[in-house]
Structure 1
Amino acid sequence: MFGKKNLKQEGGSDSTNLQGQNVVINNGINYSDAKEIALDVFKSNFLELSQSAAFIAKQRAEELIDDFLKRIIDRDPLKINKIQDPDIQYAIFTAQKEYAKSGEKNLEEMLIDILIRRVEENSQSLKKIVLNESLEILPKLTNEQLDILTIVFLIHETQNNQITDRLTFKNYLEIYFSPFVEQITPNNAVYKHLEYTGCCGSFGIPDDNFANLLLNKYKGLFSNGFEKSIFEQITNGDEKYNSLIINCVNNPTLYQFNAMDEIALEKRLNELEPNNIHLSSFKSLLNESTMNIDQATKLVIELEPKLEILIKVWKESYLCTMNTTSVGIMLAIVNLKRKTGLDIDANIWIK
């Protein structure tokens, strides 16, 4: 974990050497101390069980604390000192308790991820509260519900600025959405339970077409195109505006605006004419040349066939009404990392 180099360890006063780890922690506790603290808290607070059940529970609690401490030391050895914080101890106990009950490895992985985020949070912040709450809520959700949270978070709370063409859009759909649709269900009890746990709220007037949500974010990829002559009628043939158009991504014989949406179009136009005299006409042409809902749905399924079931369930269930709360966002981010390796900065939404 720390490489194969043999380094001489010299500890000063009030320091602790971790033998074999090549790490010196000043004025702190070592791995064994931290592990003992966590296990003592667990033993003192966990329910008394039969001998066989108690053995399994203790084994799982020890497994979680070992995996957690190894990852903490790997990231920042000094963070191990935070085990002495009562709030951190309670967070660790919560994680141990839940993993001791289930033994599910996916749960352990996510609990440890949340614990690490919690240890790295220093201030009395909203994020600290959300992380503590996430440890309590996570075990109350199925893997299916975690995947639903991730989909809802991605479609409502994020926009990928790296998408520039059909290929990058296709890759986006495959990487960000496809891993989460396998277990998706129209069973509304699943969505009601998400609301009950506080992970989701509801929209007043939802959009029941998933493809339309994608279209609104990435309108430039849903263009049917237009004749260049129509564009030139608006600009009176002024060539300075030609940088605003490119060949249509869906029909290279036609043209479209070189902008993902109306905001991007307005920004590009501002660079050419500060008074925006053509903005209204350009926006009208953009919207008139954009696919309708049926065409957009067909394109999404063409690019990623696995999303057909998501589009269907989105329309037929409460899924379209869901919106993630702060805890829902945190759990979605942790689940996204577990299933795809993508680590999104939660500070964008929760600080």
Structure 2
Amino acid sequence: MRQEQRGGDNSTNFQAEVIHAGITYRDARDIATDVYNDNIPKFTEIARQVALDRAMSFTDTLLDGIPSETLQALKDPDVQRALFFAQQEFACSGDEQLGDVLMDLMRKRMKSPQRDIKQLAVTESLKTAPKLSANHFSALTALFVLTRIRLGIASVADLHAKMRTILAPAVYGLEVSEADLAYLEYAGCVSIQITSHNIGDILLETYKGAFSRGFTEEQIPETVRPVIAPFLGACFRDPAKLQLAALNAEIVGKLTEEQKLDDPYRASILNLLNVGLMSSAEAAEEFSDLHPALRNLTEIYHSSSLKNCQLTTVGITLAHTNLRRVAGEAFDPGLEIWVK
């Protein structure tokens, strides 16, 4: 039996129903419909119908394909509150991009039963997402890909392809002003630091091995030649030369630790990462040449405070969600890699 619930003017009612067994899809839809109908503000008849159609479309898409164990999250009043917020925002705006972001965030919230940093970040992101424009999402996503992600690559061509398919679509047509960046800081998505980083330096730090022109055997210090064989491979850019078979200093460091090499050996091997290395400016120029959207990003990044921005936990959550929306199957790691 449905419970009657009343509230005064300007009150918000979240109905938590007594559920004796597991929630079925039909149960979940009924709950979601009640949550919306019991709380939506009064509109004119036409506007109310438009809002209801949008809210139910959002709800049906959200629930479609969700495992039955995830549907049980709708027993939680906090999940119902988050659901109503998402329904209301999409019902009022009808913005498909915002709807996709809210959809993914709601799925994350329904899969996060524990009150931990991930749940808190997702809940706060649900509140923040409707306050952002498409350019804000693009700027956050650019920062996420450049500063928080290490793409798995097996060649220079692989790196280029992933930048074109993952990053370029997310920043296409990007326009960001200083006011936009100040607003993102106000919204809790970024913090603007004094220090800055250019794109070339970021690429070299993350994918140093992909920007190596290689070295010859004669350039390897004699002291490490007896132990260096496991660390060498053919140069990506010049197969006639050698390079370390690792993308960056962190990976090389882990490999030398696994081999239990002494510090002098480890330092000499790490130094080989810099032999034949392209300059920061060359790396940035190569990145810019990959796609017009990436050239535009490079120009904006270097000429604005975007280069001073550091993502907050909410910024990471929103960027991750937007990147999944844009890249689809090309990017599928879970948020817990970055927010845990």
TM-score (norm 2): 0.85
Instruction: Give distance in 1, aligned partners of 2:52 and 2:66.
Output: 26
Determine which of 79, 90, 93 is the counterpart of 2:70. 79
The structure that has the greater radius of gyration is 1
CA contact (8 A) 1:269 1:276 kept: no
Supply the AA of the counterpart residue of 2:77: P
After TM superposition, list the pairs within 5 Å mapping 1:11-22 onto structure 2.
Answer: none
Matched, 1:343 2:337: no
Supply the AA of the counterpart residue of 1:191: L
Query: C-alpha displacement at 1:36, in angstroms?
Result: 3.3
Query: C-alpha displacement at 1:26, in angstroms?
Result: 7.5
Instruction: Give distance in 1, aligned partners of 2:115 and 2:253.
Output: 41
Query: C-alpha displacement at 1:313, in angstroms?
Result: 0.9
Q: Between Structure 1 and Structure 2, how many residues are aligned? A: 320
Matched, 1:259 2:250: no
Matched, 1:310 2:300: no
Query: C-alpha displacement at 1:198, in angstroms?
Result: 0.8
Instruction: Give distance in 2, aligned partners of 1:134 and 1:300.
Output: 31
Query: C-alpha displacement at 1:258, in angstroms?
Result: 2.5
CA contact (8 A) 1:270 1:276 kept: no
CA contact (8 A) 1:170 1:304 kept: no
Residue 45 and residue 268 in structure 1: after superposition, are their counterparts in 2 closer, same or farther (change >3 A)? closer
Tell me which residue corresponds to 2:181. Answer: 191
Instruction: Give distance in 1, aligned partners of 2:36 and 2:192.
Output: 37
Query: C-alpha displacement at 1:298, in angstroms?
Result: 2.7
Tell me which residue corresponds to 2:167. Answer: 177
Residue 300 and residue 52 in structure 1: after superposition, are their counterparts in 2 closer, same or farther (change >3 A)? same
Instruction: Give distance in 1, aligned partners of 2:117 and 2:257.
Output: 38
Matched, 1:40 2:55: no
Matched, 1:121 2:108: no
Query: C-alpha displacement at 1:107, in angstroms?
Result: 1.9
Instruction: Give distance in 2, aligned partners of 1:147 and 1:187.
Output: 13
Determine which of 195, 219, 237 is the counterpart of 1:230. 219
Residue 33 and residue 239 in structure 1: after superposition, are their counterparts in 2 closer, same or farther (change >3 A)? closer
CA contact (8 A) 1:333 1:344 kept: no
After TM superposition, list the pairs within 5 Å mapping 1:291-302 onto structure 2.
Answer: 291-302=278-289
Say which SS state the counterpart of residue 47 (structure 1) adopts.
Answer: coil
CA contact (8 A) 1:333 1:343 kept: no
Segments of structure 2 that go 5 or more residues without pairing to the other structure are 1-18
Query: C-alpha displacement at 1:294, in angstroms?
Result: 1.9
Matched, 1:138 2:129: yes
Supply the AA of the counterpart residue of 1:112: M
TM-score (norm 1): 0.82
CA contact (8 A) 2:135 2:174 kept: yes
Matched, 1:328 2:318: no
Q: Cα deviations across residues 248-298 of structure 1 (Å, max 9, x unaligned)?
A: 322344333333223333444456672243333443443242111222123
Instruction: Let me know the Cα RMSD of the aligned residues.
Output: 2.5
CA contact (8 A) 1:245 1:258 kept: yes
